[in-house]
C-alpha cells in the first residue's frame, strides 16, 4: 500500500542535473587563457613528473589565484623562484588560502581537551 504525499516521481535526468547543480553551487566560472593554463600545467608536470597530478594541482592553483584576485602568472613567478624542497610547503600554504580552518592541508590540528575531559578519556 502506498502512502500519498506531495512529492512527484524523480527521473534519472533530474537527479543528475540536481547533483551537477550542487557540485558546482559555489563555483563561479573561471576563464583563463590557454597559454596560462599550459604554462601552469607544464610547470607542475616538470615538478611532479605525472600529467594527471600536474593537471589537478594546476587547476587548484589557478582556482585559488583567481578567487584571491591574484594573476595566476604572478603566482607561478613565486613558484619559479622556489627551490624543489620549498615547493611542497609553499603550495600547501597557498592552497589553504581557500580552505576553512577545520580542513587545512598538511597541518595537524589537535584540539586540546580540558583536564576534566582528558581524565575521562581512556587510551
Q: What is the pLDDT of residues 89-121, one digit of tens each?
A: 889 888 888 777 667 777 555 667 777 776 665
Q: Do the beta carbons of residue 67 and residue 102 sit within 8 Å?
A: no
Mean pLDDT of 47-72: 90
Instruction: Show me where the domains of the chain are located.
Output: 30-123
Residue pointed to by grid coordinates 603550495: 91
C-alpha cell at 60: 587548484
Whole-prediction pTM = 0.63
Q: What is the mean pLDDT of the chain?
A: 78
In terms of DSSP H, where are the helices of the chain? Answer: 12-23, 34-48, 51-67, 72-80, 84-95, 115-118
Q: Which helix (H) or strand (E) holds 109?
A: none
What is the distance of C-alpha 84 from the center of its chain?
Answer: 22
Average the pLDDT over 43-59 and give the result: 91
pLDDT tens by residue, 11-20: 555 666 777 6
| pLDDT exceeds cutoff 90 at 1 | no
Amino acid at each position: 500500500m502506498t502512502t500519498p504525499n506531495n512529492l512527484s516521481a524523480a527521473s534519472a535526468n533530474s537527479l543528475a542535473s540536481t547533483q551537477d547543480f550542487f557540485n558546482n553551487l559555489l563555483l563561479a566560472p573561471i576563464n583563463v587563457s590557454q597559454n596560462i593554463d599550459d604554462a601552469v600545467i607544464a610547470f607542475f608536470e616538470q615538478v611532479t613528473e605525472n600529467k594527471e597530478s600536474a593537471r589537478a594541482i594546476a587547476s587548484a592553483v589557478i582556482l585559488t589565484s583567481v578567487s584571491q584576485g591574484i594573476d595566476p602568472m604572478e603566482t607561478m613567478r613565486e613558484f619559479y623562484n622556489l627551490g624543489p624542497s620549498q615547493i611542497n610547503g609553499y603550495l600547501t600554504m597557498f592552497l589553504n588560502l581557500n580552505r576553512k580552518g577545520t580542513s587545512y592541508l598538511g597541518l595537524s590540528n589537535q584540539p586540546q581537551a580540558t583536564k576534566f575531559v582528558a581524565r575521562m578519556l581512556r587510551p
